[in-house]
Structure 1
Amino acid sequence: MNTPIRKLGVVASMLFCAVLVAASYIQVVQAPSLDARAGNSRVINDGYKKERGSILVDGKAIATSVKSDDKYVYQRQYSNGSLYAPVTGYNSIVYGNGGGIEGASDGVLSGTSDSLFYRRLADVVTGKKPAGANVELTINPKIQAAAAKALGNRRGAAVALDPKTGAVLAMVSSPTYDPSALASHDTTSVVNMWKQLNADSTQPMVNRTISGNLYPPGSTFKLVTTAAALESGKYTPESTLNGPATIRLPQTTHSLPNDNHLPCGDNDKTSLTHALEISCNTAYAELGMDLGQDKLAAQAKKFGFGQVVRLPMRVTPSSFPSDMNTPQTAMASIGQYDVRVTPLQIAMISATIANGGTQMEPHLVKNVVDSDLDVISSTDPKIMSKPISSDTAGSLKTMMEAVVNNGTGKLAAVDGYQVAGKTGTAQGDTSKAADLWFTGFAPANDPKIALALVLENGGDQGVETLAGEVAAPAAQQIFEAALR
């Protein structure tokens, strides 16, 4: 064999090996990521050829697949779709699965999850038609409906937890959308609806409870500042603080006033309990500066700031700023400056206080069940951390009761039950009305529900509106549904 032929043979062999390696790499290594790629029409179409599992709330399907008279064989249907959209997300022949359980638990619903391997094997042996498993949620339908009614047409979010288990009892984001419009088999209408929803400035497809543009927490963050103060050993609920009508922020020409422009007590003095009760900005700003940013940041981290949580949907981590100067620390201590949170994070703080200082891992999936509703797997309550001592939690509980009994949260009270809470009026964008918050739990002596609720832009009530006037009564409606 002469040299040119030999070289050509080597090149041909190398090319063959390269093709073989590339094909093997795509088939073995890249296959899972290519299959999971949004808009992969082959995978999407194949998924519609077998029955997708249902999403269940209180034993009833809020998302289910029914036979269709077209090539897709099955079509997704949503019951009360707008109410549950933040929870279910969407199932689309054009855009795949996303926005909620449809995306986060797709492997279970489609039947492709590794956890269902032996079920699939049994189906092959018995000749049973392959199908996805059903996902049963922790949502309480009465509380979900009450939260949606409390928000009404106002932009905002509400989330409720069982403080003892971490189960998500309600998850509402407003405005919302109907995922049924994205489940249509008319691709033109689906594309048009997708464009319309994504072009909407109110962002109806964003689940505001766990993602999107995070909120400044306002005075609800005073719970974190109070926890840091009590945990430091330097303060008790009876400690005396300065509480003038206004203070000059160090190193600046700016002043920080109280919302009512009045001092928080006689001779400009107040107790830590009374400061929380009436949400005294000046007292908490001085308290935050005394504690310093390191103690505040450490306490926020213990409550879960900066940590990724999955419900199984991914929750955007809340954040507490670093490298602050003294006036920035003062503002951060009252939930302003660059502090940003999800409503779920604030609900978790209240739930931790309600649960004696133990923070439970939040979860949305209760059980995975088969077509006969036999349980395949369950979610057991899991301790996430212990951010505060039981003594600190007890003190905070009593202080939060005072907020509802005598302070800014009076309109959250429920006859016959003791409610513990905290309001927050958060001025993120100074060109708009403040975001209005309420967080708390009830009954205070044996908590069944902890919640956080936020209404954007003053709840459409005007720039002078405070949280106690709008957010507290909205929270009261949710407490009523849970307790009655």
Structure 2
Amino acid sequence: MNAPLRRLAVVVALLFASLLLSTSWIQYVGASSVAAGQGNVRQVYREFGRERGPIVTSDGQPVALSTEVGGDYQYLRQYPGGQVYAHATGFFSIVYGRTAIESVQNDVLAGTADSLFYSRIGQVLTGQDPAGGSVELTLDPVVQQAAWDALGEQRGAVVAIEPSTGRILALVSRPSFDPGSLASHDLGAVQEAWAALNADPDRPLENRAVAGRTYPPGSVFKIVTAAAAIEEGGLTPESQLPGPAELALPQTTATLPNVFGGPCGPGDLTTLADALRISCNTAFGQLGIDLGGDVLREQAEDFGFGTELTIPLRTAESTVPEGMDPPQSAQAAIGQFDVRVTPLQVAMVSAAVANDGVLMRPQLVRTVRGPDLQVVEDVQPEQLGRAVEQSTAEALTSMMVGVVEDGSGTAAQIDGVTVAGKTGTAQTGNETDPHAWFTSFAPADDPRVAVAVVVENGGSAGSEASGGRVAAPVARAVMQAVLDR
């Protein structure tokens, strides 16, 4: 054989070897990922041809389940929880795949998880049709409904956490959507619903509570600043601070004013406790300058800022920027400049204070069961770390009680219960009305629930909104629902 033929033979052999290798790779190594792909038609028929497990609330109430309907797609996914639970359950769609719990717990719900291996064996041996496992959420239906009703038609979000465990008792984002409209077997109707939801300027598909666009927190961030002042600055609630009507920001000609237009106390002086109680911008702005941006950011990180969490939904990171100069640090100390948060993160701050300074990992799933209802996973509480020392948590609690008793958060008062809280009114920087915030926990001496509420652009109050006026009553309704259980 001459040289050209030998070279051609080598090329042909390499081509055959490449073809054999790629085919083997697809059939063996990559088979599972190809089969599991949401665009795989056979996979779609397989998934809709078996009974998918339910998603239930903490009391066993189904908020997502499958009903046998026959036809090409044998089971129809239905959502009794509707819009109230949509951002927790997500949807399971022939056309658009899976989101939220339907996605992150898909292996369990579809019955293909490794933890359900013995259940699958049992189904084969007994001749039962394959079925998925169930996922029990931490959401309390009474608390969830209270949060939904209290927020009303306003855009925003509510998160309620059990401080001692991190279990999420309520997770509401409004506006919402009907997951059933995307789970229909009428593919044309599904596509129309999808197009309408994505065209809606109010962004109903966005989970504002944990993973949507992050918000400026406004004065609810003063809890973090106060924690840094105690932990790093050595202050106490009785420490005196300057509280003039306006604070001159160094390196600029700008000033930082108080919302109420006057000084925070006689002689332009106030205490740390009173500064938090009446939400004194100038005192906290000066604290930001004195402590510096790095201290503020590090304290925020102790509360969970900058941490990518899965609950098991993936959450957006809350952030405090690096490299702030003194005027930026002053703005950041009152929750402005480029500080950004999720409502979940704000609830975590209050929950850590309520839990003697210990931050628990937030959890949305409590139990996973097999088709035979046997528990295959029981999610246990887990500490993320210590946000502040217990003594600091006690001082913050005392100051937050003052906010609700006779400060900016009196609308959160509950008869016979001591409530700790903090208001916030956050400028958006884009000439729209400010966001109204409130975060709290109750009872202050034996906390059962920590809450964060954000109402976008002041809700029904518009430019007249404040956290105490708009968001505090929502938080009160949620806390009351927990306390009445």
Using structure 2 for the length normalisation, give the TM-score: 0.97
Higher alpha-carbon deviation: 372-381 or 54-63 = 372-381
- Residue 341 of structure 1 aligns to a residue whose secondary structure is coil
Shift of 1:371: 3.0
| Contact 1:54–1:61 (CA under 8 A) maintained in structure 2 | yes
Residue equivalent to 1:95 = 96
Counterpart of 1:62 in structure 2: which amino acid? Answer: V
Residue equivalent to 1:70 = 71
Q: 1:298 to 1:50 in 2, by over 3 A?
A: same
Shift of 1:237: 0.9
Shift of 1:23: 1.8
| Contact 1:41–1:94 (CA under 8 A) maintained in structure 2 | no
Q: 1:218 to 1:109 in 2, by over 3 A?
A: same
* CA distance, structure 1, for counterparts of residue 36 and residue 300 of structure 2: 35
Higher alpha-carbon deviation: 170-179 or 125-134 = 125-134
Residue equivalent to 1:333 = 333
| Contact 1:41–1:93 (CA under 8 A) maintained in structure 2 | no
Q: Indicate whether 1:357 and 2:357 are aligned.
A: yes
Shift of 1:41: 3.1
How many residues align? The count is 483
Aligned ranges 1:311-390 → 2 under 5 Å: 311-390=311-390
Q: Indicate whether 1:26 and 2:16 are aligned.
A: no
String of CA shifts for 1:313-357, please: whole Å, max 9, x gaps.
101111111111111110001000000000000000100000001
Residue equivalent to 2:291 = 291
Residue equivalent to 2:410 = 410
Residue equivalent to 1:185 = 185
* CA distance, structure 2, for counterparts of residue 242 and residue 12 of structure 1: 83
* CA distance, structure 2, for counterparts of residue 4 and residue 220 of structure 1: 78
- Residue 88 of structure 2 aligns to a residue whose secondary structure is helix
Counterpart of 1:88 in structure 2: which amino acid? Answer: T
Higher alpha-carbon deviation: 280-289 or 113-122 = 113-122
Higher alpha-carbon deviation: 209-218 or 31-40 = 31-40
* CA distance, structure 2, for counterparts of residue 67 and residue 297 of structure 1: 53
Q: 1:132 to 1:21 in 2, by over 3 A?
A: same
Counterpart of 2:149 in structure 1: which amino acid? Answer: K
* CA distance, structure 2, for counterparts of residue 323 and residue 28 of structure 1: 50
Aligned ranges 1:228-267 → 2 under 5 Å: 228-267=228-267
Residue equivalent to 1:431 = 431
Counterpart of 1:87 in structure 2: which amino acid? Answer: A
* CA distance, structure 2, for counterparts of residue 102 and residue 153 of structure 1: 26
Residue equivalent to 2:111 = 111
Shift of 1:282: 0.3
Higher alpha-carbon deviation: 124-133 or 431-440 = 124-133
* CA distance, structure 1, for counterparts of residue 70 and residue 38 of structure 2: 25
| Contact 2:233–2:291 (CA under 8 A) maintained in structure 1 | no
Shift of 1:33: 4.1
Shift of 1:399: 0.7
Residue equivalent to 2:162 = 162
Shift of 1:45: 2.3
Q: 1:406 to 1:67 in 2, by over 3 A?
A: same
String of CA shifts for 1:6-50, please: whole Å, max 9, x gaps.
444333221111011112333344444444544443322221111
* CA distance, structure 2, for counterparts of residue 206 and residue 49 of structure 1: 30
Shift of 1:430: 4.2
Shift of 1:455: 0.1
| Contact 2:115–2:376 (CA under 8 A) maintained in structure 1 | no
* CA distance, structure 1, for counterparts of residue 212 and residue 29 of structure 2: 32
| Contact 1:346–1:452 (CA under 8 A) maintained in structure 2 | yes
Counterpart of 1:357 in structure 2: which amino acid? Answer: G
Percent same amino acid among aligned pairs?
A: 50
> Which runs of 5 or more residues in structure 1 are unaligned?
none
- Residue 437 of structure 2 aligns to a residue whose secondary structure is strand
* CA distance, structure 1, for counterparts of residue 373 and residue 122 of structure 2: 17
Q: 1:38 to 1:457 in 2, by over 3 A?
A: farther
Residue equivalent to 1:472 = 472
| Contact 2:288–2:326 (CA under 8 A) maintained in structure 1 | no
* CA distance, structure 2, for counterparts of residue 301 and residue 32 of structure 1: 39
* CA distance, structure 2, for counterparts of residue 31 and residue 446 of structure 1: 53
String of CA shifts for 1:123-150, please: whole Å, max 9, x gaps.
3334332211000111000100000011
| Contact 2:37–2:43 (CA under 8 A) maintained in structure 1 | no
String of CA shifts for 1:161-184, please: whole Å, max 9, x gaps.
000100010000000000000010
Q: Indicate whether 1:399 and 2:402 are aligned.
A: no
- Residue 344 of structure 1 aligns to a residue whose secondary structure is helix
Counterpart of 1:138 in structure 2: which amino acid? Answer: T
String of CA shifts for 1:66-104, please: whole Å, max 9, x gaps.
111310111101103111101100010101111x11011
Counterpart of 1:261 in structure 2: which amino acid? Answer: G
Shift of 1:5: 4.8
* CA distance, structure 1, for counterparts of residue 334 and residue 32 of structure 2: 46
- Residue 234 of structure 2 aligns to a residue whose secondary structure is coil
Aligned ranges 1:102-141 → 2 under 5 Å: 102-141=102-141
Residue equivalent to 1:172 = 172
| Contact 1:217–1:335 (CA under 8 A) maintained in structure 2 | yes
* CA distance, structure 2, for counterparts of residue 27 and residue 438 of structure 1: 55
Using structure 1 for the length normalisation, give the TM-score: 0.97
| Contact 1:435–1:458 (CA under 8 A) maintained in structure 2 | yes
* CA distance, structure 2, for counterparts of residue 433 and residue 67 of structure 1: 48
Shift of 1:429: 2.7
- Residue 209 of structure 1 aligns to a residue whose secondary structure is coil
Residue equivalent to 2:459 = 459
